[in-house]
Amino acid sequence: MSLSLYLHFTNDLCVHLSTVKRIMQACELEHYIVIHPNTTAVIQYEAGAAIKGAHGVNVSRSRFLPVKSCSDLLLIKSDVYLLQHGHLVINPNRMFETTPVIKLGDHFKKIAQFQKRFMKIPHIIDLDHLTVTGDVYFRRNVTLRGTVIANEGHRINIPDGCVLENREPLIPTDVCRVDRAMIAPRDMYDTRRISAISNTTHRRAYLVYLRHMDIARQARIRIIRSKGV
């Protein structure tokens, strides 16, 4: 499509069919040829470039849920979304208005790889950012919170019931065992208590406070373990 004429391309166009028929019969369409040199050899005609006087419809981000990659698939299959009356809606228990950023690397590029590496979709309702470029396998009932980054160069098997929070970068020695001491007390993240804070700024500040408290608690646990207590 000619970017000099049309600045927005939504992949979703509505047309007046009788007008299209009249223009086609009059041979008035001007097709632009788009060449993709790095893909399969094809010649692509962009019929949308012939449409003038088009109107745009502003659709909220919550309704725009494309699934063009396994990163997108992980998000919509997770507990961030609920299925209500045939529509995906953001889980009201999520503490943030935005969805988490998820970036999966080449190890997760194909659906077969995705299914092999995720025995079960992790709990990511409290996740902010996930980047996985390394050779990582997620087993069942894994919970990811905050920011978790697993870089290339390590093979990591995340065991059943593991809770990972703010691990950047994640290395094999960081992968936890199922240990009650490493799991945050449930009342810390009591959604009813948090929802009672009406001011958005105050609620976010309280969440940051909870995260720092949880990080400090886990740091104390690691120190105790290193001393062999």
Rounded distance, CA 104 to CA 91, Å?
22
Catalytic residue ranges: 68
| Token reading at 120 | 């079960």
pTM higher than 0.75: no
Rounded distance, CA 227 to CA 23, Å?
80
Rounded distance, CA 148 to CA 46, Å?
41
Q: Residue ranges of the alpha helices (H) in the chain?
A: 17-25, 70-77, 111-117, 191-195, 200-226
Rounded distance, CA 165 to CA 194, Å?
19
Given a cut of 90, is residue 144 above it in pLDDT?
A: yes
Rounded distance, CA 102 to CA 15, Å?
35
If pLDDT is split at 50, 70 and 90, which confidence band does 52 have? low
Amino acid residing at 108: F
| Rg from Cα positions in the chain | 24
Given a cut of 50, is residue 40 above it in pLDDT?
A: yes
Average pLDDT over residues 152-173: 82
